Amino acid sequence: MKIDHKESYQDFGEQFTIDGDINGNWGSIKLLEEIVHPFDLNLIKEKEIAEIGVGSGRISNNLLKYNPNKIFGIEPSAAIEVAKKNIKSNKVEFFNIKGQDINFENKFDYVFSIGVIHHIPEYREVLKKIQKSLKKNGRFIIWVYGKEGNELYLFIFNNLRRVTILLPDFTLRILSKILTILTYPYGYLCNFISLPLKKYFLGAFNKWSFKHRSYVIFDQLNPSFAKYFTKEELENDLKSANFKVEHISHRLEYSYTAICSKND
């Protein structure tokens, strides 16, 4: 969904300057391990890695715990200053650039992009830049929104977003908190009834604090561009960028995790 509005990275930059907390399950190693499964994060030990779309730093902060040699953090928005405060390590070098402006070649052993590519209108260009940045046999781990299983949700939220992206952030935060309150009875009912997004609520959303649930809802209502990939679309786009797709999993029936290698 693309609407004439400021770019999504600016939306998130403004959000993360306020919503910069990365504590709790939301910012945990456990959640990262679940998102990238079946990729073994121990493989990044003493390797050169990059994260595309660092945001407030919750992913890179956990990647550091697996002792990579260095992390190159790519973040085009004002959120980069939040990430610098959240990540206290000289192993991370930050670059305040867009994904499509990456000019590294044969540089990284691993590249991660978690919850970012689906907010970039020029995502195909970014995928090609990531492919070029990898060393021979380097691997790319990507997590994006999935279309399958989200049809009813998309019908409701895509139409709601036509209005909410026009609201001042202050008003949208109030609305997000009201909707967050409603997620508690909904999440409880998911224990007993087969409701839309049941696996997502039971496997992820119900574990988060009120604050982080509100972050997620604000995320859904605020960005100018949000693409939901079918499995076929994701696989085709990755292959078009000259990746060899090793694995794609439908995480909690609402998103996709793909593990790819550089296809020279």
Q: Supply the CATH number for residue 112's domain.
A: 3.40.50.150
pLDDT digits (tens, 9 = 90+) for 218-232: 988 888 788 999 999
Residues in the chain: 264
Instruction: Report d(CA 88, CA 31) in Å as an integer.
Output: 20
Same domain, 70 and 99: yes
| C-alpha distance from residue 71 to each of 113, 148, 192, 227, 262 (Å) | 13, 33, 43, 27, 19
CA distance 244 to 235: 9
Q: Are residues 27 and 84 in the same domain?
A: yes
- Give the helix ranges, DSSP H, for the chain: 8-16, 29-36, 58-63, 79-86, 123-133, 151-164, 169-189, 198-203, 210-221, 231-240
pLDDT in tens, 9-29: 666 666 677 777 889 999 999
Residue 40 domain-assigned?
yes
Burial class (CB in 10 A: 0-12, 13-18, 19+), 28: middle
Helix axes 231-240, 123-133, angle to 10 degrees: 50
Q: Bridge-partner residues for 255, per DSSP? A: 145, 251
Residue 139 lies in a domain: yes
pTM here is 0.92
| Cα 262 to Cα 68, 86, 102, 136, 242, distances in angstroms | 20, 31, 16, 6, 7
Residue 212 located in a structural domain? yes
pLDDT value, residue 147: 95
If pLDDT is split at 50, 70 and 90, which confidence band does 6 have?
Answer: very low
Question: Are residues 77 and 167 part of one domain?
Answer: no
What span, in angstroms and rounded, lies between the C-alpha atoms of 83 and 81? 5
Residue 129: φ, ψ to 5°: -65, -40
**One domain for residues 35 and 57:** yes
Instruction: Evaluate whether residue 3 is within a structural domain.
Output: no
Q: For the chain, what is the domain count?
A: 2
Residue 1 within any structural domain of the chain: no
Give yes or no: residues 47 and 158 share one domain: no
Question: ∠48-53-54 over CA atoms, to 5°?
Answer: 70
Same domain for 165 and 142: no
Domain of 178 in residue numbering reads as 151-221
Do 169 and 131 have their domain in common?
Answer: no
Residue 15 belongs to a domain:
yes
pLDDT digits (tens, 9 = 90+) for 59-109: 999 999 999 999 999 999 888 999 999 998 999 999 999 999 999 999 999
Contacts 24+ apart (CB under 8 A), 199-208: 199/252, 199/253, 199/254, 200/252, 200/253, 200/254, 203/34, 203/252, 204/31, 204/34, 204/252, 207/25, 208/24, 208/25, 208/26
